[in-house]
Amino acid sequence: ANTKGFKKGLLCTLSVILYDISGNLLFLANVGDSRIYCYKKKVWHQLTVDDSYTKIIKINGKIVMENGSPKTIMQISKSLGSNTIDYVDVTELNANDYLYYALLSDGFYGLTGFSSFLDRLANTVDMSSIQASIIEDIQRSFDDDTSCAIVKVNTVDFTGLKPLILSNPETLPLLNHTYTEGLEKELRQSISECNEEYCTRIFEFMQKHSLYFDKSKMINILVQMAKANMNCRFKFTEIIRKM
């Protein structure tokens, strides 16, 4: 983590979720005592571990002993802006492992029964509709910072792409590049079956939504079409030339 831009004396903790679309993977990391929880089978599970330090007590340079061991006290946890960050632990997960992910400040998970607030947020279609009532409930019992963000990763069922390709809607339900892996499988399968009509429909879908593979992969697919002696290869050649 680069902390050069942080003002001296300004300390904060942070939780991060990075989604790798191509591999359908999540990378989770936290600095300090912010946490990431996950939701599965109606239970919230803690995924990250707090960064907290203990300090050995010294008096006049000598270690204070207690029951044969150095006596320690808690000090500030690892924080952005404190110049103490030498590494950050990262956890890798399949995006489908859990249904929801929650990024929480210590004030939020410090609430009694905080999971009930997460349940209410995660299980409503429009979180903003209950946001005000939840804030009111929290403020009645707590005055610390109580921040939370709930994330749901929408993944594509690659076996169900054909109806979407054939209907070719104006906009797609998810981010366009989410579909490239499944689209490649559909295209290669239709080539192996010499299905000229479906290949053409896939081309139309690709062009409408600007869904393309890298050029080397496009050429590799073109070679597969040529080997199958498919007429639609000429249309695909035009698409490659315009890239």
How many CA atoms does the CB half-sphere of 207 hold within 13 Å?
A: 14
Residues in the chain: 243
Name the pLDDT band for 192 (thresholds 50, 70, 90).
very high
Contacting residues for 20 by C-beta, under 8 A, at least 6 apart: 26, 27
Residues 165 and 123 grouped into a single domain: no
| Residue that is last in its domain, among 151, 174, 196 | 151
| Residue that is last in its domain, among 131, 151, 171 | 151
Residues 139 and 217 grouped into a single domain: no
Number of domains composing the chain: 2
Please give the mean pLDDT across all residues of the chain. Answer: 80
For residue 215, tell me if it sits in a domain.
yes
Residues 80 and 170 grouped into a single domain: no
Q: Centre a 10 Å sphere on the Cβ of residue 190 and count the other Cβ atoms it contains.
A: 22
Residues 92 and 143 grouped into a single domain: yes
Q: Which domain holds residue 178?
A: 158-241
For residue 61, tell me if it sits in a domain.
no
For residue 162, tell me if it sits in a domain.
yes
**C-alpha to C-alpha distance for 157 and 209, rounded to whole angstroms:** 18
Decide: 9 and 79 in contact? Cβ < 8 Å. no
Q: For the chain, how big is the Rg over CA atoms in Å?
A: 26
Residues 24 and 144 grouped into a single domain: yes
pLDDT at 187 over 70: yes
Q: What is the domain-level CATH number for residue 85?
A: 3.60.40.10
Residues 28 and 46 grouped into a single domain: yes
Residues 220 and 165 grouped into a single domain: yes
Residues 24 and 75 grouped into a single domain: yes
The reported pLDDT for the residue numbered 224 is: 95
Residues 88 and 19 grouped into a single domain: yes
For residue 184, tell me if it sits in a domain.
yes
Residues 119 and 186 grouped into a single domain: no
**C-alpha to C-alpha distance for 212 and 239, rounded to whole angstroms:** 9
Residues 30 and 140 grouped into a single domain: yes
Asked whether the whole model's pTM tops 0.75, one would answer: no
pLDDT at 1 over 60: no
Name the pLDDT band for 53 (thresholds 50, 70, 90).
low
| Residue that is last in its domain, among 97, 122, 151 | 151
Residues 164 and 145 grouped into a single domain: no
For residue range 61-86, list pLDDT tens digits in order.
788 888 888 887 666 666 666 666 66
One-letter amino acid for residue 228 of the chain: A
Beta 69-70 vs 65-66: how paired, if at all?
antiparallel
